């Protein structure tokens, strides 16, 4: 199918991009990698009046370190995250997760900003950024503001950005020393049935404190398994604690029924995958 007609703008700076978005009063969409936007437009599921192509905004392509934060420009491609030595060193969880995003073509074009605004509940980058405690920075007509990942979504595919705001940068605090990630997919690199990511430090006494466990694909948005995290505070991650944390993770879920799996199947998998990821985490610390 072909798209309906739309106006096309290619701004030279971010302020101009915001002005174009404002001019269409909610009727324009930002175009980044186009991997989600263009299929939606071509299938006429979305019919924007205008597309504002931000691919010329080189200010949004940086990967930098500021103090103890790692900053990722909105236009950084998935493949850049995949192969960047800086990301490998400072954000190994994101590096591990981004390899599961689509296929090579999708990763060559798709961007972190697009992934975060798209807000697919199964998306790897929204889950990774949530678990790492990242903050997204956006610019709109009334200036810049920061949104914690916990507050970025009000539902599936529903980021809390205004239609005339552009996501400019993702700020990621220091990465905990240990991490683990797994996802269940029907086919390699398909959108996942569910995914689990965990990070944490282990103290000299062998106890884990400040563990973060995130779940993708089992609710409208990626979620933290708060009950499991609380239960594991000060734990040595022995098998009994891990099993209990797996069961407790069910409190965070409200799984969908869809083409990739039933709600019942997802609910069955959650404790198993949480337990596997926690065993991986424990093993990584003892390696």
Ligand X SMILES: Cc1cc2nc3c(=O)[nH]c(=O)nc-3n(C[C@H](O)[C@H](O)[C@H](O)COP(=O)(O)OP(=O)(O)OC[C@H]3O[C@@H](n4cnc5c(N)ncnc54)[C@H](O)[C@@H]3O)c2cc1C
Chain residues in the site for ligand X (CB under 6 A)? 29-37, 54, 74, 101-102, 106, 109-111, 113-115, 117-118, 120, 123-125, 161, 166-167, 189, 191
For residue 58, the 8-state DSSP code is G
Closest contact distance (angstroms) between CB of 94 and ligand X is 12
Comparison of 165 and 241: residue with beta carbon closer to ligand X? 165
**Torsion angles phi and psi, residue 159, rounded to 5:** -75, 155
Closest contact distance (angstroms) between CB of 226 and ligand X is 23
Closest contact distance (angstroms) between CB of 36 and ligand X is 4
Closest contact distance (angstroms) between CB of 207 and ligand X is 34
Alpha-carbon distance values, 231 to 82, 205, 210, 249, 275 (Å): 33, 18, 11, 10, 13
Comparison of 97 and 275: residue with beta carbon closer to ligand X? 97
CB neighbours of 73 closer than 8 A, spacing ≥ 6?
59, 60, 61, 62, 63, 113, 168, 169
Closest contact distance (angstroms) between CB of 190 and ligand X is 6
Q: H or E element: which one contains 122?
A: none
Q: H or E element: which one contains 89?
A: helix 85-90
Opening angle at CA 181, ends 284 and 84, nearest 5: 90
Calculate the CA 36 to chain-centre distance: 14
Comparison of 31 and 129: residue with beta carbon closer to ligand X? 31
Q: H or E element: which one contains 124?
A: helix 124-131
Closest contact distance (angstroms) between CB of 283 and ligand X is 26
Alpha-carbon distance values, 222 to 91, 142, 213 (Å): 19, 29, 11
Alpha-carbon distance values, 211 to 126, 237, 241, 249 (Å): 18, 11, 13, 13
Closest contact distance (angstroms) between CB of 281 and ligand X is 22
Comparison of 113 and 271: residue with beta carbon closer to ligand X? 113
């Amino acid at each position: 199918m072909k798209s309906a007609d739309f106006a096309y703008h290619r701004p030279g700076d971010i302020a101009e991009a915001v002005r174009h978005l404002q001019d269409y009063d909610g009727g324009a969409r930002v175009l980044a990698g186009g991997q989600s936007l263009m299929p939606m437009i071509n299938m006429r599921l979305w019919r924007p009046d205008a597309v504002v192509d931000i691919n010329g905004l080189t200010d949004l392509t940086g990967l930098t370190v500021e103090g103890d934060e790692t900053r990722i420009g909105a236009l950084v491609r998935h493949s850049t995250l995949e192969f960047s030595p800086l990301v490998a060193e400072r954000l190994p969880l994101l590096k591990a997760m981004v390899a599961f995003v689509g296929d090579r073509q999708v990763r060559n074009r798709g961007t972190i900003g697009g992934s975060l605004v798209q807000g697919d509940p199964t998306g790897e980058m929204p889950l990774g950024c949530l678990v790492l405690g990242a903050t997204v920075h956006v610019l709109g007509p009334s200036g810049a503001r920061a949104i914690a990942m916990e507050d970025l979504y009000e539902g599936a595919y529903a980021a809390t950005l205004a239609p005339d705001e552009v996501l400019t940068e993702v700020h990621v605090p220091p990465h905990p020393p240990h991490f683990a990630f797994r996802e269940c997919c029907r086919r390699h690199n398909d959108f996942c049935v569910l995914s689990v990511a965990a990070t944490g430090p282990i103290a000299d006494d062998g106890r884990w404190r400040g563990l973060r466990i995130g779940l993708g694909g089992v609710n409208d948005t990626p979620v933290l398994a708060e009950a499991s995290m609380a239960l594991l505070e000060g734990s040595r991650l022995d098998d009994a604690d891990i099993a209990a944390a797996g069961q407790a993770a069910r409190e965070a879920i409200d799984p969908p029924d869809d083409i990739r799996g039933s709600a019942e199947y997802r609910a069955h998998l959650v404790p198993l995958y949480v337990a596997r990821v926690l065993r991986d985490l424990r093993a990584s610390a003892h390696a």
